[in-house]
Structure 1
Amino acid sequence: MKQVAILILCINIRIAGAQTPAISIADSLYSLGDYSKAINAYAEIGGSIAGLQIARSYNAIGNFEKAIIEYEHLTSENNSNQLALFELGKLLLKTNQFNKAIPVFIRLDSLNSENPEFQFYLGEAKRKEGKVIASLNHYKKAITLDSTHLRSLFQLAKYYTVKQERDMALNYIEKGLDFYGNDVSFINLKALVLFNDYQYENAIPWFEKVLELGETKDYVYEKLAHSYNHNWEFEKAKEAYNILLDRDDENSQTYFSMAKVYVKEKKLDSAKLYVKRAMEVQKPIFAQGYNALAEIARQQNEVNKAFSYYEMAHGEDPQDARIFYNVCTMYDNIGSNPKKKLEYYEKFLKQFPNEQPFYYETIRKRIKELKEQIHFSKD
């Protein structure tokens, strides 16, 4: 009996000895990126370790379908193989198979509920499947398990930033920045939260830091320029808008924004030049341009010209209640015929019966006054 046991041990040692160089060769092929040869080498060896490497090799060469088949074979043989399950779940996420990924990460959570990565990826799977509220609970559990789990903190911070829930967003943003103060994603979110809360002066240094860290997208310059303008830093605002115009000199909105800076500076002639340039490149509606020219004309006390521009704006966009309200009130200021004034206001109520209470109440009051004026003028 003792001799049989020794013989079996010797056979196992010889098999293991034969496999060791074979595994080394296969691993070497895998490490060098020669995945097709590695797959063949692992296939000859067999076993769960080789099977995992075959799945990884298929994943590496982009044959995700075969990789998933290999991972599923491994996990069907051993449904407690956390490594294979984890890699399978991430690959299912990568290939947008969210409904299949969710039970994989649920299984992982049942095997190890203390792993924050499992919670994070379960949150990702649910978020991408559209179960956003459910995903938040998993991100929160991940940071309960690991307070420095940046990806979970970021997803929570981004969610509350989009929802414009300032305090909640800043809570998660600050936690992320406490751990990594130069994380451009968190810095960007903080700038956006402050900007959305109209805290332009406080937002400025955070947008500037975003630029310093190399995030130079157009929206950063747009929001920074807007903040500069609100903070009366006109030259900096113009500099930021000029950067945008250097990138795209056919963007009408940038010209309009630049015009607003000059209006605020009371440099109205320069403002008009930018509005007219915006109108030259704007496609296809000019209403915004005519409306801007009307506002400038009003500031220059050119009331008749302002009225003409408002009428042109209304002609371009007859569905904009605000523009037609300006037409009505401007004519009320410059016209002498109360019946004509009344016609404008009644037309407004007929065309925009469900506008905001301010318009509705103001116009109804003015209509009543005009009707009394017309009545008494007859008497």
Structure 2
Amino acid sequence: MINRWEILLEKGQTYFELENYDKAAETFKKVIAEKPDLVKAMRYLAECNGKLGNKKEAINAYEQIIAFDPNDIETLSKLGSLLLETAQPEKAINIFNKAAALAPENKQLQYDLGLLNTRQNHFEAAERHFIKALAADENYIEALTELARLKVATNDIETGIDYYLRAIEIEPDNAKLHSELGEAYEFNGQYNDSIMEYKKAEYLDPNDPKIHFKIGKDLESKGKLEEALEKYQAVKELDPQNIELYYRCGKLYQRLEQSQAAREEFEKIAKMKPDWLEIRYELANLYGDMGDYELQIKEYEAIAEHDTSSTEVMKNLGASYAANGELDKALQYYDRALDSDPSDYEIPERMYEIVLAGGDPSLCIEVLEALFETRQDDSDLALVLARAFAAQGFMDEANDFYMKILEISPDRNDIKGELRTIYRSKGMVNEEIEAIETLLENDPNNLELLND
């Protein structure tokens, strides 16, 4: 008599063959409910869950199989892979170690363990497993390659080179091996050997952008800038979205003093990656060097959107507006920079320079007053403050600074005309008369002064 679980098992297998994994999984669960020790059904259930992306359920199924058969190497390997996919690397290593202990000469298991330990930065363990894989098959190219990479990464470059050479003996036409060997030679300072390997790789695979890129970097390191540029431009045709290529081209054009070409490269990067602030700074500096201050301002404003409190960004905007002749805006941005970093002594100096160039001193009177405290003998600064206070109708404050000017430079007759306005506003008749007489000494025929 046929058992019900046998009928269900056959039905589940049919669903599995028809790739109806939902129905198959549901059926195999019923089989296991009736026959809890049926490993075959557990395997099918694990496979179904794997196909459906239900990795947690698949792991549970494989663990049930291992509970019944701890020496099932195939299941251990599958379980290890799933644990790795679900970001459980240490558990995966333990499972793979169990499998490898059961089959120490299984080169694939040893290789997989080597890769897994490499990812976890367990380099000594990784090396041991790769060597075991090679012991099982001395021509195992993948293990040789990973050993070479591991040795170079851990700064045992000469040993890494030896492994690359062994791998190339097995696969002499492998462009990637020649390219990586070239890189190892470069790290080891063997530049002639390096370029020879890059050239071999280029010959074997002329359409690999990474190989051309490495050749370009080698040319650049040797100061062959125009040749490097030519190589990078060729790579861009093969890899048009590689931002580093455009960046390197831009920097090389700058070194060759070709600002317009550099600008075009950086602008392409800004379109591809608008949030990359480094390229925004590059463009801002370049626009400034080229005298295109409006574009420079736009770049710094784009940067400021990401960092609204940066003192340097505010200072850069202030400098850009000043260079563009927008002096009052420049003062406003320098004022914001000073709010962000009150200890930056350069900012008041720069604001004073902008005021002398025609900026509105009323926008920064407090800053200029504080600056005067450190420069008590600066009559020009005192005059700026006197005029600023007078323009706002603060005659007492204006008079104080005019007096300070005369204390610093008693012979400054050029300000007597301005002082008349102060004296008149304060009803200081004698002082106003004295100021007029001083002015008449320089201009005795001035009828307006004589009438006054």
**What TM-score results when the alignment is normalised by the length of structure 2?**
0.55
Q: Is the 8 A contact 1:98 1:126 kept in 2?
A: no
2:163 to 225, 232, 240: 240
Residue type at the aligned position of 2:221: Q
- The verdict on how the C-alpha distance between 1:273 and 1:319 changes in structure 2, with shifts beyond 3 A counting, is same
Deviation at 1:257, TM superposition (A): 1.1
Relative to structure 1, the CA distance from residue 301 to residue 202 in structure 2 (aligned partners, 3 Å threshold; closer, same or farther) is farther
Which residue is equivalent to 1:60? none
Instruction: Compare 98-107 and 263-272 and name the one that shifted more.
Output: 98-107
| Aligned equivalent of 1:308 | 230
Q: Which AA in structure 1 matches 2:118?
A: F
Q: 2:282 aligns with which of 366, 372, 376?
A: 366
CA gap 1:206/1:93 in 2 versus in 1, 3 angstroms: farther
Whether the aligned pair in 2 keeps the contact of 1:210 and 1:216 (CA below 8 Å) is no
Q: Is the CA contact 1:158–1:189 (under 8 Å) kept in the aligned structure 2?
A: no
Change (3 A) 1:117 1:299: same
SS in 2 for 1:212: helix
Q: Distance in 1 between matches of 2:235 and 2:54?
A: 44
Matched, 1:195 2:118: yes
**How many Å apart are 1:292 and its aligned residue?**
0.9
Q: Per-residue deviation at 1:294?
A: 1.8
Who is 1:330 aligned against? 252
Shift of 1:371: 2.2
**Mapped contact 2:80–2:91 kept (Cα < 8 A):** yes
- Return closer, same or farther for 1:144/1:89 CA change in 2, 3 Å cut-off: farther
| 2:12 corresponds to 1:79 | no
Q: Which residue of 2 aligns with 1:174?
A: 97
Q: In the alignment, which of 197, 219, 232 is matched to residue 274 of structure 1?
A: 197
- The answer to whether structure 1 residue 347 and structure 2 residue 268 are counterparts is yes
Q: What pairs with 1:223-238 in structure 2 (closer than 5 Å)?
A: 223-238=146-161
Does the 8 A contact of 1:222 with 1:240 survive in 2?
yes
Alignment of structure 1 residues 1-379 onto 2, 5 Å: 78-80=2-4, 99=21, 102=25, 105-128=28-51, 131-162=54-85, 165-177=88-100, 183-214=106-137, 216-283=139-206, 285-332=207-254, 334-350=255-271, 352-353=272-273, 360-375=276-291
Local SS of the residue matching 1:223:
helix
* Deviation, structure 1 residue 78: 1.0
1:250 partner letter:
D
Residue by residue over 1:122-152, the C-alpha shift from the partner in whole angstroms, topping out at 9 and shown as x without a partner, is: 3134434655443222112223445444333
Contact 1:184 1:215 in 2 (8 A): no
> Is the contact between residue 105 and residue 118 of structure 1 (CA under 8 Å) also seen in structure 2?
yes
Distance 2:180 2:187 in 1: 11
Q: 3-state SS of the aligned residue for 1:318?
A: coil
The structural deviation recorded for 1:89 is 8.3
Residue 267 of structure 1 deviates from its aligned partner by 0.6
AA matched with 1:238: I
Query: Helix, strand or coil for the counterpart of 1:346?
Result: helix
Inter-partner Cα distance in structure 2 for 1:340 and 1:142: 65
**What is the distance in 1 between the residues matched to 2:53 and 2:284?**
52
Aligned letter for 1:353?
A: K
Could you say which residue in structure 2 is the equivalent of 1:38?
A: none
1:216 to partner: Cα distance: 4.8
| One-letter identity of the residue aligned with 2:194 | A
Contact preservation (8 Å) 2:93, 2:117:
no
Q: Contact (CA 8 Å) 1:161, 1:189: kept in 2 or not?
A: no
3-state DSSP of counterpart to 2:160: helix
Unmatched segments (≥5 aa) in structure 1:
1-76
Cα distance in 1 for residues equivalent to 2:69 and 2:194: 53
Distance, in Å, in 2 between the alignment partners of 1:248 and 1:270 is 19
Label 1:80 to 1:315 Cα distance change in 2 as closer, same or farther (>3 A).
Answer: closer
Contact residue 28 and residue 45 of structure 2 kept, 8 A: yes
Cα distance in 2 for partners of 1:214, 1:251 equals 19
Deviations 1:264-321 (A, max 9, x none): 11111111111111111215x2532331112112333434433333233224433322
**Higher mean C-alpha displacement, 367-376 vs 133-142:** 367-376
1:337 Cα deviation after fit:
4.4
Q: Distance in 1 between matches of 2:59 and 2:141?
A: 30
The aligned amino acid for 1:294 is: G
Q: In the alignment, is the contact (CA less than 8 A) between 2:168 and 2:177 conserved in 1?
A: yes
Residues 1:152 and 1:322: Cα distance change in structure 2 (over 3 Å): same
Q: Which runs of 5+ in 2 are unaligned?
A: 294-322, 326-452
CA contact (8 A) 1:115 1:145 kept: no
CA deviations on 1:325-364 (whole Å, 9 max, x unpaired) are: 21112222x13244443333123223x135xx5xx21110
Q: Select the structure of larger CA radius of gyration.
A: 2
Deviation string, structure 1 residues 14-58 (Cα, Å, up to 9, x no partner): xxxxxxxxxxxxxxxxxxxxxxxxxxxxxxxxxxxxxxxxxxxxx
Mapped partners of 2:93, 2:11: distance in 1: 31
Q: Secondary structure at the match of 2:201?
A: helix
Does structure 2 conserve the Cα–Cα contact (< 8 Å) formed by 1:201 and 1:231?
no
Identity %: 16
Q: Is the 8 A contact 1:156 1:172 kept in 2?
A: yes
